[in-house]
Structure 1
Amino acid sequence: MKITLDLSKLLEQGKITAADAERLKALAATETGNLGLNILTGFGVIAASAGAVAVMLTAFDFTAQSAAIIGGCVFGLGLLLLLARGEMVSLLSQTLILIGALTGGAGLLILEDGSLRAAAFVTAVLAVTAVLARSSLMAALAVVSLAGCLGARTGYIHAMYSLSIQEPLVTVVLFSGLAFALYLISQQVRADYERISLAAARMSLVLVNFGFWIGSLWGDRLRLYRYIVYNDPKGGPDFTAHGAVIPPYVFSIGWAVALIAAGVWGVKSGRRWVVNLAAVFGGIHFYTQWFEHLGANAFSVLAGGILLIVIAFALRTLNRKPSPAS
C-alpha cells in the first residue's frame, strides 16, 4: 500500500529524525524514477504494438491473421526468456510479452471483426500477461477489454469524444464485484502482485462510474436480458431505442449513494485514490445532472462553479491530512 507523508512537517514535529527523512527521500526518489520509467515503457510498448500492426497490414501487406501469429510468436519468445536470469534479460522478456500480447490481440480482434469470442480471449491473454510480466498496464487493459466484451466503446470524431456503455446495470454490478474481489486479493499477495491487483481494481471502479454516468442519462434498456429471454438480437418485442426499463433517476440516486459511501470508506481506510476518484466523479455527477435539468444559464454556471470550488477546497484539506494506518 502506498501512503503520502509530509516529511518536512514530520521532521519539525520531531516524529522522525533527519536521518529518517533523508532515507525516506532517497527511497521515494527511486520509486518515482521507477514510476516514470514504467509509464514511459508502457506508452512505448502500446505505440510499438499499434505501429507494428499498422505496418504489417499496410506496408508489408500482411493479413490480420499474420499479425496475430507474429504477435503470438513474440509472446512465446518472451515466455521462454522468463526462464533466463539477469535484469536486462528480464526487462527484454517482459517487453516482448507485452508487445506480443498487444500485437497478437489486435490482429485477432481485426481478424474476428471484434467478436465476443475474440474479445474474451484477448481479455484472458491480457490478464495472464499482467501476472507474468507483473504489469499494471496490462492489468488495467484486461479490465478495459472485459468491458469491451459487454459492448463498451469509445470513439473520436473531429473535436468530439464519445463513450458508449451498452449495459449500465451489468457494468455497475460486474465491476463493483470485480473491484471488491481484487481488493481482497491484493491483501493476500506479495507487493508486486498487490500493485497489479490494485491497478485492475482501480480501473474497475472507473468503469463502475462510467456505468452509473451513462445510466443516469439514459437509464438501462436491459438489452442483454431481453436478448437472453427473447433470443432476439434486437432486444425482443416492443423494444425501442428510448424504452428504458430502469429509469435514469435510479442510477442518479444510486450513483450519489455509492460515491458518498466510497468517499467515506476511502477516508476511514486511508485510500486517497478512492477519495479523489469519488470527488472527481462526484463533480461530474453534479454537473451532469445540474445542466441536464437546469440547462446552461448564468445562474447554473455560477452556482455550479461555486459548489465545485467548495468541493476542491474540501478535497485539498483532506489530502493535507495524514492518512490513518490501515
Structure 2
Amino acid sequence: MKVLVTGGDGLLGSNLLRMLLKADHEVSVLLLDTGSLSPTIKDLNIEIIYGNILDLNSLDSAITGKEVVIHAAASTMVIPAKSSSIIEVNVKGTKNVIEASLKHKIKRFIHVGSANSFCPGTFKNPGTEINPYTGWKYGLDYMDSKKAAQDLVLNAVKTHKLPALVVNPTFMLGAYDAKPSSGAMIIALYNQKLPGYTGGSKTYISVKDASQAIVNAITLGRIGECYILGNHNLNYADAFKLMAEELKVTPPHFKLPDNIVKIYGRICSLICKATRKTPTITKELALLSCENHIYSGEKARRELNMPNTPLNIAIRESYEWFILNGYIS
C-alpha cells in the first residue's frame, strides 16, 4: 500500500514508519519544514514531503496517489493550557486532512487520537471506548481539541462515508524518543530528580505495540470505530519501581500528598502568569497526576491483533536508546 503519515517524526511516528516499512508498505511522511530532519527518521527508506496540514494545497499534493492516510500530526502542548494554535492544528488541521482524503478517495483513513477522549476508569473498572468524554473539566485545549478532531473523523464516516477508524494511544514508552517526550520520566528517574510520587495512576503501552496496532488497522478493525491502545495499568508507585529496576536506580519512596501537589500546581501556574516562564507543573497537570486514568485495550487486542509486550521491555528499550544516543551517561 502507498501510505502517507502526517507528522511522523515523534516517538510514535519514528516507530510507526519502521513498522510500515517492515510490512512492505511504500511510505511517505508529511512534515513541517523546520530546517532540520529528526535523526530518528533521516536514514529510513521513505519519501519526505514538506508541507503543512493547515495548507490545503500542500495536503492535496502530499495525498495525491496515496491509498492510506495515517493522521498523526498534532499539537500536544499542555503548557500553556489554553492556546488558539493548539485548536487550529488539531481541529482545523484534521478537517483539512479529512477533506483532502475524501477528494482523493483514500481507501483507509487512520486517525491517531488520544485515550483521554474517553472517560478514564479504575483498576476494577477500566475506561473503554463507550465512555463519554469528561476531559473538559481539566481546561486543557489539547484534550478538548483532540476530542473535537475525533468527532470530525467519526462524523465524516457517517456523512461522507470516509473509510476511517480512530486509534487512541495511552502513555507510550520505547526507543526513538528524540525530544524526549514520555521518556523524560525515565531520564528524570535515572538522574534521581523525582522527589516522590503522586497518588494517581495511568495506562502504559510499548510504542512498538501501538505502532503494530496502527499498521494492522490498515486491513483490520471496523470503519467508524475507536480503539484504545493500552496494555498495562499501574499506579505511579509501582510504575516507578518497575522503571527503577530496569535502570538499576533507587525509586522514589515518598508519596506526595494530593492536596500539597494541587496547591503547588496552582502556585506554579500563578508564577507562570506573572513571569511568563514555563513551569515544571501546572494546576491542570497537578490535578491529572493525582487521579486514576486507567483504560482497557481489550478491544484493540481483539480486533487489531495488538501485541502485549511486557512493560519492562519497553522501559529497557527506551533506556538503552537514551544511553546509545547520549541522553544518559
Q: What TM-score results when the alignment is normalised by the length of structure 1? A: 0.31
Q: Which has the higher contact order (CA 8 A, sep 6+)?
A: 2
Q: What TM-score results when the alignment is normalised by the length of structure 2? A: 0.30
Which is helix-richer, 1 or 2?
Answer: 1
Q: Which has the larger radius of gyration?
A: 1
